[in-house]
Chain A
Amino acid sequence: MSEEIVLSIYRGDADGGQEVEYSVPLTPGMVVLDAVHQVQAHQAQDLAVRWNCKAAHCGSCSAEINGRPKLLCKTRLDDYVGQTVHILPMQTFPIIKDLVSDVSWNYEVAKKIPAFKPATAVPFRMQQFDVDRVQEFHHCIECFLCQDVCHVLRDHDAKDEYFGPRFMVKIAEYEMHPREGGDRIPLLAHEAGLNMCNVTKCCTEVCPQHIRITDNAIIPLKERVADQYWDPLRALFRRKKESPTNQSV
């Protein structure tokens, strides 16, 4: 007889709820999403869970497993043998039902970011080493686990002051593109709230795509904001460079 594992799954909606325990048989290679599907098929047909690809590519099944933001489909159950597996929806966003939370705020934020604006006419040729850097950011699957773990959004609910790590990655993707002609540095310094981030790196720790969000996106963007707004020497050189055309700094 196969080993059983106990799942404690949050059941409820915006009005409240509680964790309910379910026992499922553990089979080799089983991930948490498999177990949730077992529960859904045999014990609680009304259990709500968002999922799609079951291959860690769509970013749909984000949740919190034993207090850690993770993808349900990428978390193996044999890591939890002998423990109760607590499964909760993402805490940063409003809950819709059970494990499904409302992530629509993220799509509203996405609309505020100016789209890619090529500096030269397409099609253009680029060297691979020029685009290696931004290709890391293309790996993002928009699971929003980084948004979920970010304490600025999670503990301080500062959604009106900070776009969150996901959108710092998005802006870095555009800003560091070798053919980008737009300038999002003023957006970062003001509306996007880059300096609300205090670089505690939790976003990097939970990213299932292993994007080095803090080191490769947020910190380089902070340095670019410092270049433009904080560095008096660079401002001086910029003024000298721009003075013949009377452009402002």
Chain B
Amino acid sequence: MAQPVQAAVEGRKQAEKHLPYWVEPAFTIVALGGFVIYAIWEVLAHNNGTYHNYVSPFFSPGVAGWFGIHVLTALYVVWVPFIFRFSCYYYRKEYFRGFFFHPAGCAVSEPASHKNKRYTGERRFPFNLNNLHRYAWYLAVIVLIFLWKDTVQAFIFKNGFGVGLGSIILLINAVLLTGYTFSCHAFRNMIGGRKDCFSCANGKPSTGYKWWRRVSVWNQFHGAWAWASLFSVWAADLYIRLLISGVFSDPRLF
């Protein structure tokens, strides 16, 4: 007798295989921890992030320059993306699992040291400030506008329009950061999620509903946007840093 259910078993077994629980927190520790260390080095060791028409995302907008400050110039900008990512609902999952083991994995016992400490979740400082994520989002949108300005500028060379490898990297970075910013859970709530009734005005789907639906689709991939944009910021800054250091010159595509 035919056994159609069995035909797919081999493939399904592969799909069912889970990685060990520690893989995800280990990745978070390495990737997020590595980025934070890199960011601290970038902020403390450099005061310039501009190479011709390219501006590093760590140094844009040039807030320090507006006030005539020439030291630790990145510091006046990086706090915005830092609080935006720190209070992000996706990153909360990652750092609570990776750095705090609250918990490290699903149904994985927390370390014995947690038993002696009262768990308060996001009720106490500093984690209760995560409730203000929307304000971090407002600031992140302002920074994003400047990053798009920098992206346009990255295509304008001394002799007019052109495309360099740096232009492409900054464009990809701006696109990924836009995806990350506008797939945000707080934005999803703001744009329409806080409404209970989407048709109560005239019986038809409201504009808020249409936007909420769209943002809900992007929101499903918020974690992917979060990682991709983190790596793109890293890559864009490192690329410009290497150009400034003279390690190589920017290849012009045309």
Contact = CB atoms under 8 A, between A and B. Distances in A.
Interface of A: 28-29, 64, 67-69, 78-79, 81, 91, 127, 129-130, 148-149, 151-152, 154-156, 158, 162, 175-180, 193, 195-202, 205-206, 214-215, 219-220, 222-227, 229-231
Interface string B1-13: 0010110010011
A9 B92 CA distance: 36
A130 B197 CA distance: 6
B132 A230 contact: yes
A91 B110 CA distance: 14
Given A152-B121, A200-B103, A206-B106, 17 more contacts: A67-B108, A69-B106, A69-B107, A91-B107, A127-B199, A130-B198, A155-B103, A156-B119, A177-B196, A198-B121, A200-B96, A201-B93, A215-B220, A220-B189, A223-B134, A226-B132, A230-B131
A236 to B, nearest CB: 14
A202 B3 contact: no
A64 B106 CA distance: 12
- Chain B, interface size category, equals 35 or more
Contacts of A225: 131
A223 B209 CA distance: 17
Contact of B102 (A69, A91, A198, A224): A198
B159 interface: no
A78 B134 contact: no
A198 B96 contact: yes
Q: Which of A28, A162, A205, A230: most chain B Cβ within 10 A? A: A230
Contacts of A199: 89, 92-93, 96
A146 to B, nearest CB: 10
Contacts of B133: 226
Contact of B106 (A28, A195, A205, A230): A205
Contacts of B185: 215, 219-220, 223
Contacts of A220: 185, 188-189, 193-194
Contacts of A195: 121-123, 128, 131
A78 B209 CA distance: 44
A178 B205 CA distance: 13
A129 B102 contact: no
Contacts of A148: 107
Contacts, number: 132
A28 B119 CA distance: 46
B9 A196 contact: no
Interface in B25-80: none
Contacts of A197: 121-122
Nearest to B106: A202
B196 A180 contact: yes
24 contacts: A29-B5, A64-B107, A67-B108, A69-B107, A127-B198, A151-B103, A155-B114, A155-B119, A177-B196, A178-B197, A178-B199, A196-B122, A197-B121, A198-B96, A198-B102, A199-B96, A200-B92, A200-B102, A200-B106, A205-B106, A215-B220, A219-B89, A223-B189, A224-B194
Nearest to A151: B103
B245 interface: no
B219 interface: yes
Interface string B125-167: 0011001111000000000000000000000000000000000
Nearest to B108: A67
Contacts of B6: 28-29
A162 B13 CA distance: 36
Nearest to A75: B16
Contact of B196 (A68, A79, A162, A175): A175
Contacts of B106: 68-69, 149, 200, 202, 205-206
B72 to A, nearest CB: 30
Nearest to B203: A127
Q: Which of B3, B6, B9, B12: most chain A Cβ within 10 A? A: B9
Nearest to A127: B199
